[in-house]
Chain A
Amino acid sequence: MPKQPGGLFNRLSSQLAVVNRVPAPVVAKVGPFLASLKVGPPEIQSALAGLFSPQAGEATTPFIKMIAKWVVNARNAAGLGKKVILVPFNFPTELIHAFESAEPLTSEVLSTLAASCLVGQGEQYWGMAMAMGMPDHLCSANTIELGSMLGCRDFHPQAVISSAPGGCDVNAKMHEFVAHHLDIPHFFLQKPPDDTGRGREQYTVYLKSLIKNLEVFLGEELREDKLRSVLEKANRCTELHYELFDLQKAVPCPVPNIFSLFLYGTRFTMWGTDEGIKTLEAMVKVSKRRLAEKAYPAAKEVARCVWAYTSYYWDFCGFFNWMEEQGYSHLGDGLDLYFPSPVDTSSMDSMIDGLAGAAWNMPMTRQVGAESMSRAWTEDMIFAAKNLKADCVIYCGHHSCKQTWSVVSILRSELEKRLGIPLLVLQGDSWIKRMTPISVLQQEIDEFVKNVVLNKSAPKRSIKKRRQRKWEAEAPSVVPHE
């Protein structure tokens, strides 16, 4: 009988438990050394090379330590009498951090960690979901992690919160399936597709009900002082988020490409914690230093690219580092577009309302969960592209993302009309490498930048002159043949 593979969470948490125990200065020294050795499975080499790229500097260690602590907290939760609540990436985890007796785990972050840090990546867990008869058009972002829960002996959360109804069918359905299959409680925060004040008020009503349900489930009342403490830290994260956004505006971009991932990695896990603040402070510090030094990984910045939705997470080196080596700045992607606002911490009501605002503005909820998914997404992309002085937008074409796929033609048309910048539509799975190899994606990006983006910045060619040149080339020579 073939040996059953270890569960995704169990494998990850065993590795990260070691990282959690190792002091930060040791991680900072050993990490780059391991990356420089270039030994071991290629996927691990790529992850190490991406995470410990020289440009990421001292931000990598707090990021890795933060993620390790987040995973270990969940691993140790039961022993401490706490419950682990599985959430999707569009849920503000600061709410769970505000409960003493709960720890949040985010499905998509676990899938991303598997795609980047585990030998064999996430494919085997995806395969487990497929083996149950799941359709192959599901989203690997959550199906990898959930496939592990369904298909092998792995850690199980004590409850699931779904904040995807209204924002993403596939995400919501997969979480529903897992909650049903594992027979664990399932809580909801649905998004009304109504951009008026009425929709926003209703969302607060839904959030209040969710909090009530969580209080009953956890047997713990959400304490005002604890919530305030978490949200004050979340407010500090917000400040740092905007500092980074401002730094990204500089030309050449001083913010390393992989910081896009670090930024939302923090948002989806430890926003509102000391570890989150520490990571963001380190990212700002590195970026400021690079700005002062006018540091850039390539000889010059060739193209400034905003990514329209997700990036690719199964080859950090082949994606983030490669872009930098070509002079292509990754100015963040759709998951960085959550526009946090400082929360008024003066009262319980103002804090709940602020939390509702944070949830309302989470990526995906804010864009494709809006009344018009094309309009909200387009407005955010135009804002980002304009403010970050982007030369182009690239859509990764994660095949499961039906909402963005269904309106990407509108986004392309509006970007062209309103900003005059092109959109490249790629096709590839963000979490699974076998759909489109990195070499193909690199080639497509390269050709797009060289043939479309750079040509666009050249002076416009006159059709008249072009025709003239063509006629001259085709015209018979006036010199008679000898």
Chain B
Amino acid sequence: MSTYNPMEEITKEAAVLENSYVKKWKDSGGSVVGYTCVATPVEIMEAAGVLPYRVRALGAPDTEVADAHLSRFNCSFCRSCLQLGLTGAYDFLDGMIETNGCDHLRGMMENWNYAKGFSFFHYLKVPHIVDEDSIPFFEEDLRLYKKAVEDRFGKAVTDDDLWERIRAQDRIRDNLRKVYELREQANPAITGAEALTIFLLATAVPTGDLELLLQKIIEARKDHAFRSVRARLLLGGAATDEIDFVKEIESLGALVVTDTLCFGARAFWSRGPGRSDGDPIKVLAGTTLGQLLCPRMFGDFKSRERFLFEAVKRARVDGVVLVHNKFCDVHGVENVALRLSLEKAGIPVLQLEKEYGARADLGRMRTRFQAFMERIDQRDA
């Protein structure tokens, strides 16, 4: 008799771009719209009956088509996403919401739009600073985004619709926090690679299905425990959807017990439920921009530093690995500042620059991890 293992299902579904949930959604006449950045409130798309889908590259290393548009001085994650976009892997999308996440993402979108185009395209402009001037501007931008989605998909979004989706996303975030509690506990019940897999699927399935899946995995793993972990690590840094990369770290006996990734904790941890009444767009503007812990934001380094240190303490980590993809400036510089802070606090830290999805890079990475683990071992000894 076979036992149902929710992690197996999640792993299978997260390994493909157009998973069975997306297929089912499309088959029933639903629309799917891509987005690239955590600064995009998905609640607005959901309220218009659209399935939001966060663009990822799933470790795909090929970039030969994308390289005819972007250059080799652009981040390889964006080049990989563009490659998938231009070669048809994302043809199931019915549109795209662009945000000014970083210069590479903007370049990727410009080239995707120029070379292939989207049947629906909207640019959500996200300020780089949170202050009394920028929040109302962002609020207005959210209204333009809502109108664009309403016009394209033919559904008027009411405040009630939005409140319903905000509450649904709050529940999802609660469940994701429970998943993280399971990985951060003294004897972790979920590996780092599994947590990343769960998160990836969480940004590519309808909320209703996702809630069930998350509850199943929480239930299935509640009594699970990984013991004899060589080192408890925190993984922080740039957009990393490479499950193999995390597996590589964990293959050396370490466990990535928490993260500050944007394909991870940074996307949901700090976004607690805001006000539950009034103008939902105003609430979304405040929670999205006000709690955006991304190095593309300025004048707010202290919040991101605090977020990292809280995670270090909460998950009782032995060391921190900070990664960025080659040519990613926002994380490249941010990681130096964070590394200096961690070193000052006596927390072992490894700062890594890598190419996205390049298996050729794994040998070098492995050597760096091994050396880092030895550093931690010696410290413990």
Binding site for B on A (CB under 8 A): 132-135, 137-138, 162, 165-166, 168-170, 172-174, 176-177, 180-181, 186, 188, 190, 192-194, 198-199, 202, 205-206, 209, 368, 371-374, 399-403, 405-410
Provided the pairs A132-B336, A405-B73, A406-B74 are in contact, do residues A170 and B329 lie with their beta carbons within 8 angstroms? yes
A190 to B133, CA, bound (A): 11
A406 to B333, CA, bound (A): 20
A166 to B301, CA, bound (A): 17
Question: B120 contacts the other chain (Cβ, under 8 Å)?
Answer: no
Q: Tell me whether B332 and A135 are in contact (CB under 8 A).
A: yes
Q: Tell me whether A372 and B110 are in contact (CB under 8 A).
A: yes
Question: B103 contacts the other chain (Cβ, under 8 Å)?
Answer: yes
Which partner residue on chain B sits nearest A180 by CB separation?
B301
Q: Tell me whether B296 and A169 are in contact (CB under 8 A).
A: yes
Q: Tell me whether B134 and A190 are in contact (CB under 8 A).
A: yes
The distance from the CB of A436 to the nearest CB of chain B, in whole angstroms, is 13
12 sample A-B contacts, Cβ–Cβ < 8 Å, listed by A number: A133-B339, A135-B326, A135-B333, A137-B329, A137-B332, A166-B128, A169-B330, A170-B103, A177-B336, A186-B299, A402-B104, A402-B327
A134 to B111, CA, bound (A): 29
Q: Most chain-B CB neighbours within 10 Å: which of A198, A202, A205, A209?
A: A202
Question: B353 contacts the other chain (Cβ, under 8 Å)?
Answer: yes
Choose among B73, B102, B106, B298 the residue that contacts A373 (Cβ–Cβ < 8 A).
Answer: B106
Binding site for A on B (CB under 8 A): 68-71, 73-75, 100, 102-104, 106-108, 110-111, 114, 123, 125, 127-129, 131, 133-134, 137, 140, 295-296, 298-299, 301, 324, 326-327, 329-330, 332-334, 336-337, 339-340, 351, 353
Q: Tell me whether A194 and B125 are in contact (CB under 8 A).
A: yes
Choose among A135, A401, A410 the residue that contacts B324 (Cβ–Cβ < 8 A).
Answer: A135
The distance from the CB of B99 to the nearest CB of chain A, in whole angstroms, is 10
Q: Tell me whether A209 and B131 are in contact (CB under 8 A).
A: yes
For B334, the chain A residues whose CB sits under 8 A away are 173
For A180, the chain B residues whose CB sits under 8 A away are 301, 337
Q: Tell me whether B103 and A202 are in contact (CB under 8 A).
A: no
A134 to B102, CA, bound (A): 18
A177 to B301, CA, bound (A): 9
Q: Most chain-A CB neighbours within 10 Å: which of B104, B134, B329?
A: B329
Q: Most chain-B CB neighbours within 10 Å: which of A132, A172, A368, A401?
A: A172
The distance from the CB of B42 to the nearest CB of chain A, in whole angstroms, is 21
Provided the pairs A166-B128, A172-B298 are in contact, do residues A134 and B68 lie with their beta carbons within 8 angstroms? no
Q: Tell me whether A193 and B111 are in contact (CB under 8 A).
A: no
Q: Tell me whether B133 and A209 are in contact (CB under 8 A).
A: yes
Q: Tell me whether A402 and B107 are in contact (CB under 8 A).
A: yes
The distance from the CB of B225 to the nearest CB of chain A, in whole angstroms, is 37
Q: Tell me whether B326 and A137 are in contact (CB under 8 A).
A: yes
For B327, the chain A residues whose CB sits under 8 A away are 137, 402
A200 to B299, CA, bound (A): 22
Q: Tell me whether B133 and A206 are in contact (CB under 8 A).
A: yes
A170 to B69, CA, bound (A): 21
Q: Tell me whether B337 and A177 are in contact (CB under 8 A).
A: yes
Provided the pairs A135-B324, A166-B128, A209-B131 are in contact, do residues A173 and B330 lie with their beta carbons within 8 angstroms? yes
For A192, the chain B residues whose CB sits under 8 A away are 125, 127, 137
Q: Tell me whether B299 and A188 are in contact (CB under 8 A).
A: yes
Provided the pairs A193-B100, A374-B114 are in contact, do residues A406 and B71 lie with their beta carbons within 8 angstroms? yes
For B329, the chain A residues whose CB sits under 8 A away are 135, 137-138, 169-170, 173, 400, 402
A410 to B112, CA, bound (A): 11
Choose among B71, B107, B123, B295 the residue that contacts A193 (Cβ–Cβ < 8 A).
Answer: B123
Q: Tell me whether A169 and B103 are in contact (CB under 8 A).
A: yes
Q: Tell me whether A177 and B125 are in contact (CB under 8 A).
A: no
Q: Most chain-A CB neighbours within 10 Å: which of B102, B129, B301?
A: B129
Choose among B71, B114, B128 the residue that contacts A165 (Cβ–Cβ < 8 A).
Answer: B128
A177 to B339, CA, bound (A): 12
A368 to B134, CA, bound (A): 20
For B71, the chain A residues whose CB sits under 8 A away are 405-406, 408-409
The distance from the CB of B381 to the nearest CB of chain A, in whole angstroms, is 26
The distance from the CB of B69 to the nearest CB of chain A, in whole angstroms, is 5
Q: Tell me whether B332 and A138 are in contact (CB under 8 A).
A: yes
Q: Tell me whether A190 and B298 are in contact (CB under 8 A).
A: yes
Q: Tell me whether A133 and B351 are in contact (CB under 8 A).
A: yes
A169 to B105, CA, bound (A): 11
Given contacts A137-B73, A137-B326, A406-B110, 7 further A-B contacts (CB under 8 A): A134-B332, A180-B337, A205-B133, A209-B133, A405-B107, A406-B71, A406-B74
